[in-house]
Amino acid sequence: MNKIVFLIQTSDQKGLLADITSYFYTKGFNILHCQQHTDSRAKKYYMRLELDMKDLSCSRGDLKSDFAKFAEPRKLDWSCNFTDNIQRVAIMASKTSHCVYDLIMRQKEEDIRCEIPLMISNHPDLEHIADQFKIPFYYLPVTKETKKQQEQQVLEILQRHHIDLVVMARYMQILTSDFIDPYAGRIINIHHAFLPAFQGANPYLRAYQRGVKMIGATAHYATEDLDQGPIIEQDVYRVNHELTPVGLKKVGKDVERIVLSRAVQAHLEHRVIISGNKTVVFSNEH
C-alpha cells in the first residue's frame, strides 16, 4: 500500500494530537498509523503519521501547500513524504567491503527499499564489487591538497544522479561543511565504535588497549564535527580478554553491518526526526 508519511515536531502543547488528526479527517484521509512521543524534559512533541494515499484528492503540491497554512500558526516543523517515491542511495566507501556488500544484498533482497545507482570511492579497491552488481563506480582519489576539488566532483555526481541519501559505508574521510550542507540530514555514516567512546581512527585498537568487555558500532548523520552527528542506531557485542585487535575487528564487522542497515532502513522508511543533535526514531513494528 502506498502511503503519505508526515513527520512533525513542535513545542509540546495541549490538544496537538486532536488538532492534527482532525485536520486530516476533515480532508478525507484514513489515518493508517499514528505514533507520537513527548519529551517532557525538553517540552517537545514528535509525531509520525501514515495516511492512505488512495484518499489523496488533490495534487501533492496542493497537499503540502495547504498543510503549510495549517502548520504555520501552530509552529510545526514538518515534512511530507510519499512512499511510492523510491529513494536513490549513493554508497561511498574506501577499502573495506563488508558494509558495502551488506547494503547491496539487502537492497537486492528488498529488505531495504531503494535504488543504488552508483558507488563512489577514494580508492580503486572495491570496483570489482560495483562491476559484479553492475553499479557504476566512480574512483575519485583525494589528498589534503585536493580535498576541495574532489568534494566538488562528488557533489556534481550526486546532483547529476538525483541522489536522495548518501551512505558512508566505511568511507574514511572527514567531510567538510561545503559537502555536508547541501545534504544535511541525508548523509549516514557508520562508526566502528559505540560513540561517544573511541571517536576517530583505530577504535578497535584503542578498545583492546582499554580492555573493554563490549564493542559496538554507531550509525549517525554526518556533520563537519568528526563522529558528533545525531545518532540513529547503535548496538554492542560482548567480548573478552582473549580477543586481539584483529579479533575485535572481525567481531565488530557483524555489528557494523546490522547497525548501518537498521539506520538506512529507518531513514528510507521516514521514521527518523532530527531534533538538534539528537534523533527520535519511531519503530516499524506495526
Domain membership flag for residue 265: yes
Nearest to residue 171, comparing CAs of 212, 215, 226?
226
Q: Are 62 and 116 in a shared domain?
A: no
pLDDT at 153: 97
24 and 139 share a domain?
Answer: no
**Domain assignment present for 286:** no
102 domain-assigned: yes
For residue 57, the 8-state DSSP code is -
Domain check: are 52 and 155 in the same one?
no
Last-in-domain residue among 31, 64, 82: 82
Decide which of 53, 82, 111 is a domain's last residue: 82
Does residue 99 sit in the same domain as residue 75?
Answer: no
pLDDT of residue 104: 98
Q: Are residues 186 and 154 in the same domain?
A: yes
What pLDDT is recorded for position 286?
Answer: 64
Residue 112 belongs to a domain: yes
Identify the CATH number of the domain in which residue 111 sits: 3.40.50.170
Residues 197 and 132 in one domain: yes
Same domain for 120 and 224, yes or no, is yes
Judge if 11 and 133 occupy the same domain. no
Catalytic residues: 227
**129 closest CA partner among 169, 159, 166, 158:** 169
Task: Spell out the long-range contacts of 251-257 with Cβ–Cβ below 8 A and sequence spacing 24 or more.
Answer: 251/215, 252/192, 252/204, 252/215, 252/216, 252/217, 253/98, 255/215, 255/216, 255/217, 256/98, 256/99, 256/170, 256/190, 256/192, 256/217, 257/98, 257/99, 257/102
Residues 6 or more apart in contact with residue 110 via CB below 8 angstroms: none
Decide if 106 is inside a domain. yes
CA 248, CA 214: separation in Å to the nearest integer? Answer: 10
- What distance in Å separates the CA atoms of residue 70 and residue 15, rounded to the nearest whole number? 14
Nearest to 129 by CA among 142, 141, 114, 118: 118
Phi, psi of 74 (to 5 degrees): -95, 0
Helices (H), 27-117: 60-71, 98-108
Pair (25, 131) in one structural domain: no
Count: domains in the chain? 2
Statement to judge: residues 138 and 62 lie in one domain: no
The confidence score (pLDDT) of residue 4 equals: 98
Last residue of a domain, one of 82, 115, 150: 82
Q: Is residue 227 part of a domain?
A: yes
Q: What is the pLDDT of residue 74?
A: 93
Clarify whether residues 197 and 57 are in a common domain: no
Q: Which residues pair with residue 139 across a beta bridge?
A: 121
- Which domain range does residue 50 map to? 3-82
Please report, in tens digits, the pLDDT of each residue of the chain (286 residues total). 899 999 999 999 999 999 999 999 999 999 999 999 999 999 999 999 999 999 999 999 999 999 999 999 999 999 999 999 999 999 999 999 999 999 999 999 999 999 999 999 999 999 999 999 999 999 999 998 999 999 999 999 999 999 999 999 999 888 999 999 999 999 999 987 776 666 777 777 887 888 888 888 899 999 887 778 999 999 998 888 888 888 888 888 999 999 999 999 999 999 999 999 999 999 987 6
Residues linked to residue 38 through DSSP beta bridges, in sequence order: 45
As a whole number of angstroms, the distance between CA 97 and CA 29 comes to: 44
Q: Which three cell numbers stand for residue 63?
A: 497537499
Q: Kindly report the CATH number assigned to the domain that includes residue 70.
A: 3.30.70.260
Q: Are strands 278-281 and 272-275 parallel, antiparallel or unpaired?
A: antiparallel
Verify that 16 and 38 share a domain, yes or no.
yes
